[in-house]
Structure 1
């Protein structure tokens, strides 16, 4: 018999986050609600009308995504053209809202009346601005709360040291290294 501290036979599992606990329940409730709404519409009109609504959602969503993608690509081309020409950053085109427009198109494409409503709401500019501001504030708050050594800390350090995001290629030559090289002309591999 050994003396000492008793080690547990089962490792202690970390507590599940609230998101991981309630997300499956939320998805299940959303699916049940979507199916219930579609059966209500089918009962009021017909199954063919529901099929046409779902088909129209897929077509409209693909058109929205295609339009947002083209807009984003045009914005990227214009930005590259202006950077090559040396245009000031204030003259760059406004490309905000393309990601949210694509998300709205994706929500419209997903079968269901609630997702269609949420997707159509995301296409409205005031809603896009509000969602964008909320997402930015949430991202900044989480970045500030990040522990040292995490990915959020790396983003913060990169933003502190390179606020403009420019990378200048080059080589750092310290004065003491230059003095050592001048005294010993042999390459380091032949020592």
Structure 2
């Protein structure tokens, strides 16, 4: 016996959700394989020394970057309390890259040689600068693309969906024939979308 409701539409998985677990598994297998190759050539004690040394270096890097970030935060708060709000923007170079430094330290602390190389690369200022600029540009592009679609459209689309999964397409038309838009809304209560 059917209830008359259409079956729920399965959402398509994004590429990131599909390939991220595969990428992590491949990275782990590669790390283990590389550790065994290096251990067979240099010895297990040398590999242990490399991993412990990288872990200690990563902890030191994270501690220093965390202290620097906390100091910058404290100075910024003190300047805002005294009314010098424009001073933090004048010296961005001092606090630049703390997040990437912490990421580099975390990669150093992870057991594995590939993550250690990536962490060491993030400790180099030119690499941090380029990655920071790339991340900033890609974030700006994504924000601009999200704003081009319009947030009002997303809210209007969300309002047209019923709880049972049915989508009602259409527009609200007043008796005078003019279309009603969200930016010209009045404060009258609306009836619920549930049947």
- Give the secondary structure class of the aligned counterpart of 2:151: coil
TM-score, normalization by structure 2: 0.68
After superposition, the Cα gap between the structure-2 partners of 1:49 and 1:81, relative to the gap in structure 1 and judged at 3 Å, is: same
1:52 is aligned to 49
Q: Which runs of 5+ in 1 are unaligned?
A: 151-191
Separation in 2 of the partners of 1:148 and 1:35?
Answer: 46
Separation in 1 of the partners of 2:41 and 2:128?
Answer: 33
Structure with the greater alpha carbon radius of gyration: 1
Cα deviation for residue 70 of structure 1 reads 0.8
- Give the secondary structure class of the aligned counterpart of 2:115: helix
Cα deviation for residue 92 of structure 1 reads 4.4
2:120 is aligned to 120
Flag as ranges the 4+ runs of structure 1 deviating above 6 A.
Answer: none
Separation in 2 of the partners of 1:27 and 1:34?
Answer: 10
1:67 is aligned to 64
Is 1:79–1:92's contact at 8 Å kept on the other side of the alignment? no
Separation in 2 of the partners of 1:70 and 1:138?
Answer: 28
2:151 is aligned to 148
Counterpart check, 1:132 vs 2:132: yes
Is 1:78–1:92's contact at 8 Å kept on the other side of the alignment? no
Cα deviation for residue 53 of structure 1 reads 1.1
TM-score, normalization by structure 1: 0.69
After superposition, the Cα gap between the structure-2 partners of 1:133 and 1:92, relative to the gap in structure 1 and judged at 3 Å, is: closer
Q: Which runs of 5+ in 2 are unaligned?
A: 155-195
1:43 is aligned to 40
- Give the secondary structure class of the aligned counterpart of 2:95: coil
Residues 130-157 of structure 1 deviation map (CA, whole Å, 9 limit, x = unaligned)? 111111111111111114156xxxxxxx
Separation in 1 of the partners of 2:15 and 2:141?
Answer: 19
Aligned to 1:15, which of 8, 12, 15?
12
2:110 is aligned to 110
After superposition, the Cα gap between the structure-2 partners of 1:72 and 1:38, relative to the gap in structure 1 and judged at 3 Å, is: same
Cα deviation for residue 58 of structure 1 reads 1.2
Separation in 2 of the partners of 1:142 and 1:19?
Answer: 16
Cα deviation for residue 11 of structure 1 reads 2.1
- Give the secondary structure class of the aligned counterpart of 2:9: coil
How many residue pairs match? The answer is 148
